[in-house]
Amino acid sequence: MWCILFPAAQSSILDRTISQVFKNEKPDRKYDGYTSCPLVTNYNTVILAEFDYSGQPLETFPIDQSKERWTMYHMKADVMPHLYWHGLLKGFWGGPGPYRKIMHLGMK
């Protein structure tokens, strides 16, 4: 089991904050501490636990993510490795924040 602690999102916010401080501007963003832990519960099911620094749920999908799902297994097995190696580490993926807003119709 592994958790993705989104350092690319954090580093982009840190870079922006440092630039603003050097310009004597007030920082306008704060990293929310988003973490994603796919918890494997069976051979083909996963509970996708997503939370912030304070341990509060920060779920991306508009479904009950506390239930075992085969779709979350495919997220863990097929999507997350690609996001990590080809998106996050190369600075192209900053986390699911924008997608979370779309999927929750801007209500979260």
- pLDDT at residue 108 greater than cutoff 80: no
Q: Which tens digit of pLDDT belongs to each residue from 2-52? A: 455 555 566 667 777 888 888 999 888 777 778 888 999 999 999 999 988
> In sequence order, what are the beta bridge partners of 21?
none
Query: What is the predicted pLDDT for the residue at 62?
Result: 92
Span 66-78, mean pLDDT? 94
Chain mean pLDDT for the chain: 83
Residue 29 and residue 81: Cα distance in Å, rounded? 27
Tokens of 25: 């501007």
SS3 for 6-40 is CHHHHHHHHHHHHHHHHCCCCCCCCCCCCEEEEEE
Query: What is the predicted pLDDT for the residue at 14?
Result: 73
Query: What is the predicted pLDDT for the residue at 94?
Result: 72
Query: What is the predicted pLDDT for the residue at 1?
Result: 47
pLDDT range class, residue 64, cuts 50, 70, 90: very high
Our CA angle for 31, 32, 37, nearest 5°, is 120
Query: What is the predicted pLDDT for the residue at 8?
Result: 54
Our CA angle for 19, 20, 22, nearest 5°, is 65
